[in-house]
């Protein structure tokens, strides 16, 4: 059962930049001829688009009693109370309040976030910081997953 899913896609402006990088790659090879220009346009454009797509493919899910964020899979039983962060508080936790031991899935183009304490004493990670466009919905999904897990026990 999946109760929440979000993909942190890159903004449209990044795709425009990828396209412009492709054009720049083509123009750089224009003195070598039309075929070289087209090759540069295609290769540079594809590489730039692959980079944007890869960076924008981060997913956050709450599924089967776990929080899955990027490559991390954390059981909800190891998490504390989720704390939705507005833009100002999220910026503070990304910068001067940040702990280098924390797991952070952050995207600078997403202004809001969710912070959740890690309560597992065996885990040195103090908290999880997740950039999300809807921190309240993610917090609610985590609470529902924790309640469902508690009810099953």
3-state secondary structure of 61: strand
Query: Does the global pTM surpass 0.85?
Result: no
For 102-143, what is each residue's pLDDT tens digit?
Answer: 999 999 889 999 999 999 888 899 999 999 999 999 999 999
Residue 69 and residue 21 share a domain: no
Residue 74 and residue 103 share a domain: yes
Q: Is residue 2 part of a domain?
A: no
> Tokens 């910068």 map to which residue?
95
Residue 134 and residue 69 share a domain: yes
**Structural domain of 71:** 62-152
Rounded Cα–Cα distance for residues 127 and 63 (Å): 19
Residue 47 and residue 72 share a domain: no
3-state secondary structure of 8: coil
Total number of domains constituting the chain: 2
Rounded Cα–Cα distance for residues 153 and 149 (Å): 6
Give the other-Cβ count within 10 Å of 32's Cβ.
11
Rounded Cα–Cα distance for residues 67 and 41 (Å): 40
Residue 12 and residue 75 share a domain: no
Residue 80 and residue 47 share a domain: no
């Amino acid at each position: 059962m999946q109760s929440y899913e979000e993909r942190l896609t890159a903004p449209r402006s990044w795709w425009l930049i990828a396209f412009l990088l492709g054009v720049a790659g083509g123009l750089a090879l224009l003195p070598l001829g039309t075929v070289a220009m087209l090759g540069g346009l295609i290769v540079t454009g594809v590489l730039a688009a692959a980079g944007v797509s890869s960076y924008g493919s981060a997913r956050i899910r709450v599924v089967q009693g776990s929080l899955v964020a990027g490559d991390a899979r954390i059981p909800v039983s190891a998490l504390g109370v989720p704390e939705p962060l507005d833009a100002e508080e999220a910026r503070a936790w990304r910068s001067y309040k940040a702990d280098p031991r924390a797991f952070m899935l952050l995207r600078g183009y997403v202004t809001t976030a969710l912070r959740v304490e890690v309560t597992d004493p065996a885990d040195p990670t103090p908290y999880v910081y997740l950039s999300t466009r809807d921190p309240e919905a993610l917090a609610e999904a985590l609470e529902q997953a924790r309640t469902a897990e508690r009810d099953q026990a």
